[in-house]
Amino acid sequence: MKTRIVRSGSPAETRAIARRLAQRLDAGAVVALFGPLGAGKTEFVRGAALGLGVSDVVRSPGYTLINEYRGRVPVFHVDFYRIRSESQMATLGLEEYLERGGVLFIEWAERGEGILPESAIRVRFSPGERENERIIEIAPDPWAEGE
Ligand SMILES: Nc1ncnc2c1ncn2[C@@H]1O[C@H](COP(=O)(O)OP(=O)(O)OP(=O)(O)O)[C@@H](O)[C@H]1O
Ligand SMILES: [Mg+2]
């Protein structure tokens, strides 16, 4: 499996990368986002949602735990930061959302590694050398040919 490594120099660039990735997503896709507080996970979901045709403003999921947006496919956004255990995650019924032909974004995926489908696209953020720089590793590489 190939990993694509991209460097982002600004929040807008992170959104643009995500927007391009979104064009490659099929219904039922799960995008798992890893990285610390302020890494850029929500910025990434904003860009991806735009790429999926969502016109609403994307905000971090709050008490509802899962946000839903209407795009060319339904877009679901969950943040595992607020969820205490993998058994609580299991009660969210994420499969049922996917069965509706949507795309699911999961922030703080490290907290729920055990329930991620094998097919999930894993996006890992790490800080770059400069303040607004982020290194973003995407696996499998959504832009790889013939895979
Ligand atoms: N290259 C970059 N990509 C994304 N965000 C950046 C970048 N450079 C600076 N930032 C800033 O970093 C912050 C990222 O916030 P964001 O809410 O996306 O992080 P997060 O990973 O979702 O954090 P949390 O774990 O709290 O949910 C924003 O304030 C954004 O302006
Ligand atoms: Mg966030």
Q: Which fold has domain 4-139?
A: Rossmann fold (3.40.50)
Q: Closest Cα to atom 10, ligand 1: which residue?
A: 11
Of the pLDDT bands very low, low, confident and very high (cuts 50, 70, 90), residue 86 is confident
pLDDT tens digit string along 5-53? 999 999 999 999 999 999 999 999 999 999 999 999 999 999 999 999 9
SS3 34: strand
- The terminus-to-terminus CA distance of the chain in angstroms comes to 9
Q: Tokens at residue 143, please?
A: 């832009």
Pocket residues: Cβ below 6 A from ligand 1: 8-11, 13-14, 35, 37-43, 60, 107, 132, 134
Backbone angles phi, psi at 46, to 5 degrees: -60, -45
Neighbours of 114 (CB within 10 A): 8
Query: Distances from the Cα of 146 to the Cαs of 1, 53, 96, 143, in angstroms?
Result: 12, 26, 29, 9
- DSSP characters for 67-124? EEEESSSEEEEEEGGG---HHHHHTT-HHHHHHTT-EEEEESGGGGGGGS-TTPEEEE
Q: Which atom of ligand 1 lies at the shortest distance from residue 133's CA?
A: 1
pLDDT tens digit string along 75-84? 999 999 988 7
- Distance of CA 95 from the midpoint of ligand 1 (Å): 28
Q: Which residue of 31, 34, 43, 124 sits with most ligand 1 atoms within 8 Å of its CB, as the best mutation to test the pocket?
A: 43
